[in-house]
Structure 1
Amino acid sequence: MNSAVLQAAAPVLADSFIELPARERVRALLDPGTFRELLGPFDRIESPWLPLQGIVCQADDGAVIARGTIDGEPAVVAALESAFQGGSIGEVSGSKLAGALELALRDCERGRIVRPVVLFETGGVRLQEANLGLAVIAEMQAAIVALRRYVPVVGVIAGMVGCFGGMSLAAALCSHLVVTKQGRLGMNGPEVIEQEAGIDELDSSDKRRIWQLIGGEQRAATGLADSLVDDDVQAVRTAVVDAFARGVPKAHRSEQVDAYLARLAAIDPQTVTPDTMRAVFGADASAQIKE
């Protein structure tokens, strides 16, 4: 079995995007027949640190990178495999993502526009490789900021893990963020918040409450995500194509610091609810921020 066999695998038949593994998510977004994986599992670029702690490696370190086309235009899609270490970022997986974005940036600087897409399915930095993971996330974030001067950078948060930690900052830097209701986005995960602040602050077993606070529907309603889509392969792909069609925003969220600080100042932490957050950060307020 070799990489050519991998590329020739059967086409995606499932309708659910969330149920697909990372490699098939990438394949589903690229135009049929254009998927070409870079540094795949047969290259065996594995984490050198996990075996030292008795953890079995994955041959691609849980990161899938592929070139191809989206709607006929050159594209690079990067995805994290949630089934391996919760999609966490280590030295190798993070370097693969950062390197893919940097190569796309080099092409854009030379006048050959490449559409970048990142499928965020990650709890953040891999604890076993903490400092190395943080370093490569910083490289990734720098590449996103540099890239979005030339082309929209599109992020997708579908589920089941969501997007947390330093990778939530990378997602926030994207030009357009596509989410499903099942997706979650936050700096800290519910279990971490409960552990550090206590169950009175957040009960991590209260799933309904968690999705009310950080679920995809709430993030879209408060302007922290741009497109809310059903868990459907074609719906996600259409949202990604539409995001590129809209072009680079006049102002990215990360460039509107004063506007967001003003809205945060209007929130009373003692009485904050999902509804009050929507009132402050809802569609009308978000539209003003983006103008």
Structure 2
Amino acid sequence: MSTVATPVITPQPAPVLHDSFIELSARERARALLDAGTFRELLGPFDRIESPWLPLQGIVCQADDGCVIARGTIDGEPAVVAAIESAFQGGSIGEVSGSKIAAALELALRDCERGKPVRPVVLFETGGVRLQEANLGLAVIAEIQAAIVALRRHVPVVGVISGMVGCFGGMSLAAALCSYLVVTKQGRLGMNGPEVIEQEAGIDELDASDRRHVWQLIGGEQRALTGFADALVEDDPNALRSAVQRAFTQGVPAAHRTEQVDSYLDGLARIDPANVTPETMRTVFHANAALSSSKEQA
């Protein structure tokens, strides 16, 4: 009696009909990173999990609170993508949106602890905490950070900063905790945004309207060249997807950036406060990264 072999179906990348990752919505970005046909949204708009605080201040809610959580596969492996929507409140993190991210990462952690690895990706596009929900937002950002630290012991946690809002505030610390960080030239990463620095320290400290200078200081290319990001890619969905896939194939780093405290303190000690330029930062931290790498190999 003859038998018919069951065909092996390999998940294929999702077809991309747009040549810019930055111009995609959060939902489209998440879909672009997952294998074709595997995108499944959790707590989507029709579930209407909205902020209870914004209406009290006369602000119209968004049905997903500006955060998309999607399950699917990446290279055939189970994955979860948390994508922040910059078009809603500048991607700011409130109680609901932050809780969605934290819960998604905690569920991935639970699966990993049960021997079922899940590939977690966070698409950062945020100015940080939502001022209208400040204390609640800060608390949930701390939960996100704790979840990343716990999860990265099991699998790489990959962050993506593509632009144009960038990643600032408490969420910049969450990005720094990721195992690998993928950026574009258009992306920005910093604890405080240029406008905040100008407001608090004055225009002599930083002219937020000088876009060229701002990107030289905190843009994606600068962050990659100083070792604060791991991959610099073009603004292209296929390029971003490939970079995310490569990050997972590298496995968990021997030492995450946030575990290399002595190395970074040494780098800071070698900076001349009177001569801080993009070039000096590249020289110091590039050499610092090389030294750290050689110590790991030894």
The TM-score bracket by the shorter chain reads over 0.9
> Structure 1: how far apart are the matches of 2:218 and 2:56?
35
- TM-score, with structure 1 as normaliser: 0.95
Q: Match of 2:166?
A: 162
Q: Following the alignment from structure 1 to structure 2, what is the Cα–Cα distance between the partners of residues 221 and 275? A: 10
Alpha-carbon distance in 1 for matches of 2:179, 2:166: 18
Choose which of 282, 286, 290 in structure 1 pairs with 2:289.
286
- Give 1:123-138 correspondences, 5 Å limit: 123-138=127-142
Listed one character per residue, the Cα deviations across residues 45-94 of structure 1 (whole Å, up to 9, x for unaligned) are 00000000000000000000000000000000001000000000000000
**Contact kept? 1:78, 1:97, Cα under 8 Å:** yes
What SS is found at the alignment partner of 2:274? coil
Identity %: 83
1:18 aligns with 2:22: yes
Question: What CA distance in whole angstroms lies between the structure 2 residues aligned with 1:36 and 1:139?
Answer: 24
Larger Rg: 2
1:44 lines up with 2:48 in the alignment: yes
Equivalent residue letter for 1:245: T
Aligned-residue RMSD, C-alpha: 1.0
Match of 2:126 among 103, 122, 125: 122
Q: Which residue of 2 aligns with 1:6?
A: none
Pairs aligned (count): 281
Check whether the contact 1:12–1:24 (CA below 8 A) recurs between aligned residues: no
The structure 1 segments of at least 4 consecutive aligned residues displaced by more than 6 Å after TM superposition are none
Q: Are 2:155 and 1:175 equivalent residues in the alignment?
A: no
Match of 2:252 among 224, 248, 254: 248
- Equivalent-residue separation in structure 2 for 1:147 and 1:289 (angstroms): 23
CA contact (8 A) 1:47 1:90 kept: yes
The answer to whether structure 1 residue 96 and structure 2 residue 100 are counterparts is yes
Partners of 1:249 and 1:234 in 2: how far apart? Answer: 24
TM-score (structure 2 length as normaliser) = 0.93
Alignment-derived partner of residue 5 in structure 1: none
Deviation at 1:11, TM superposition (A): 5.6
Structure 2 unmatched ranges of 5 or more: 1-13
Tell me the residue number matched to 1:67. Answer: 71
**Deviation for aligned residue 1:185:** 0.1
> How far does the alpha carbon of each residue in 1:134-172 deviate from its partner, in whole angstroms, 9 at most, with x for none?
100100000000001100000000001000000000000
Aligned ranges for residues 66-85 of structure 1 at < 5 Å?
66-85=70-89
CA contact (8 A) 2:158 2:179 kept: yes
Residue 236 (1) aligns with residue 240 (2): yes
CA distance in 2, matches of 1:39, 1:289: 42
Decide whether the 8 Å contact of 2:264 with 2:288 is kept in 1. Answer: no
Q: 2:208 aligns with which of 204, 207, 226?
A: 204
Cα pair 1:30 1:68 within 8 Å, conserved: yes
CA distance in 1, matches of 2:35, 2:291: 35
CA shift digits 1:222-278 (9 cap, x unpaired): 000000000000000000000000111000000011110110011111210000000
Aligned equivalents of 1:288 and 1:243: distance in 2? 22
Superposition deviation, residue 287 in structure 1: 3.2
Q: Distance in 2 between matches of 1:224 and 1:266?
A: 17
Alignment map for 1:212-223 (pairs within 5 Å): 212-223=216-227
- Name the SS for the 2:275 alignment partner: coil
Q: Is the 8 A contact 1:165 1:187 kept in 2?
A: yes
Q: Give the Cα–Cα distance (whole angstroms) in 2 for the partners of residues 117 and 288 of structure 1.
A: 28
Q: Secondary structure at the match of 1:66?
A: strand
